[in-house]
Structure 1
Amino acid sequence: MSGIQGVGSGTPPQINQDLQEAASPNGGRFKQMLSRVADGALAGVAAIAPVFPGGQLVAMAATGLRELKATSPGGLAPGGQGDQIDRMFEMQRQNQVYNLQYLQLQTEMQADNRRFSTLSNLMKVRHDTAKAAINNMHA
């Protein structure tokens, strides 16, 4: 009985050679092919974009992406630009948490200030009333 390799045969399925190379640290042929396709697409966008209104900006962005890809070691792989972007997002998330904590502290301080002002006003009225009563006794 011929079956599908890896299904019910007790042997693990064979992984395509291109996928193995793509998963390797160096990337292999698949990664190189995708890199060439990306280069070609960015070059095409940079060449065609100036024809359209506002295309100069798009052309500059495409050229910048090509240069970034060429100069960054490993492109957007871990340790490269992608890792820095992840760290930037994490810092922004922490900044939001700190801002919320600061806002909560400000709210608590305002509530404490209102309580203090209320107690201070009540004590002043009490003092003024007692002082007026004493002054009325002397008069």
Structure 2
Amino acid sequence: MTKISIIKKIQLGGQRSFPTEIPDFEIPFNFYCGNGVIKHETIISFKNSSFLNSLIETGQITNKDLAQFHITKLENLEDPNRTFLYRYQICNFKDCHNTYLLFFDIDEYRDYYSCFIYGVLQIESHSL
């Protein structure tokens, strides 16, 4: 099993909510490296992401870790009605050798969809 250690939360600027017409979307998203020098560009997509509860159920990360780094409130993370809303995507970048964990959700309202970015964490993975 792999345990995820959080190094730091990445400060996000600009747009964090994106409308989309279909749930199977691809949205370009940019953020700066943990050292603030390199601008990373990634594509957030439904097909390249997984449900956050899969990380939590396997013990790789905890709700308390995420709440401590202000991804969202602990009550939201522990709410069983919201469990399948949260998604994550792991990004590795060769130009800085860092790994990032992006958290987002997809919301549907009357056949319109939107994606909201909760946060980006710089992480390290450790085998147990």
- Which of the five TM-score ranges fits, normalised by the shorter chain? under 0.3
Higher strand share: 2
More RCO (CA 8 Å, sep 6+): 2
From the two aligned structures, give the one with the greater helix fraction.
1
Give the structure-2-normalised TM-score.
0.19
* Larger-gyration structure (1/2): 1
TM-score by length of 1: 0.18
